[in-house]
Amino acid sequence: MLNLEIESINGMSIGFSPIRRGVPFSDCLCSRCGMGAEDPDHIFIGCLWARSIWWSILVWMRISFPVDIVNINELMVYIHKQPGSSRWKRVVYTVALATIWRLWNARNEMIFNGRFIPVSSTVDLIKEDAFLWLNNRSNIKSLSWENWGMFDISCLM
């Protein structure tokens, strides 16, 4: 399941990649930091803006930021290897998927609508998405927004 979802995300971003459509290289620079070619590795991990978001989210979940990772697959493997119960892993994995979704969303907002979504707004949206996703599951109903804000998920364990 993990691999399938990652591949579909990679497939989606590769499919949309301007490089594939033969646009000159200068047009392919990242629309947010302007410092790298906009390939999936850059959009989701390499970009300073994406790294700031991952950093905020991982600190919130009390996971140290892995400075040497270069793509989503490596990050997911790193997250998966963290010590924790299977429920904890499921929560963290849900947050990671919400992060990937919001990074992609914010990237498209910039490219198609010229709207820059700040790091703090994206981080808030990720927390909201993951909270709603978790609360919509029938077996996880007891999570309060206050506890979620502190990443206190003891009620789920």
Chain residues that interact with Zn ion, rule: CB under 5 A: 30, 32-33, 47
Least spacing, CB of residue 40 vs Zn ion, in Å: 12
Least spacing, CB of residue 78 vs Zn ion, in Å: 21
C-beta of residue 47 within 8 angstroms of C-beta of residue 116: no
If we measure between CA atoms, which residue out of 145, 53, 62 comes closest to residue 100?
Answer: 53
Least spacing, CB of residue 90 vs Zn ion, in Å: 30
The residues, ordered by sequence, that sit 6+ positions from 133 with a Cβ below 8 Å of its Cβ are 94, 98
Between 85 and 121, name the residue whose CB sits nearer to Zn ion. Answer: 121
Between 51 and 90, name the residue whose CB sits nearer to Zn ion. Answer: 51
Between 30 and 72, name the residue whose CB sits nearer to Zn ion. Answer: 30
User: How many Å separate Cα 52 from the centre of its chain?
Assistant: 11
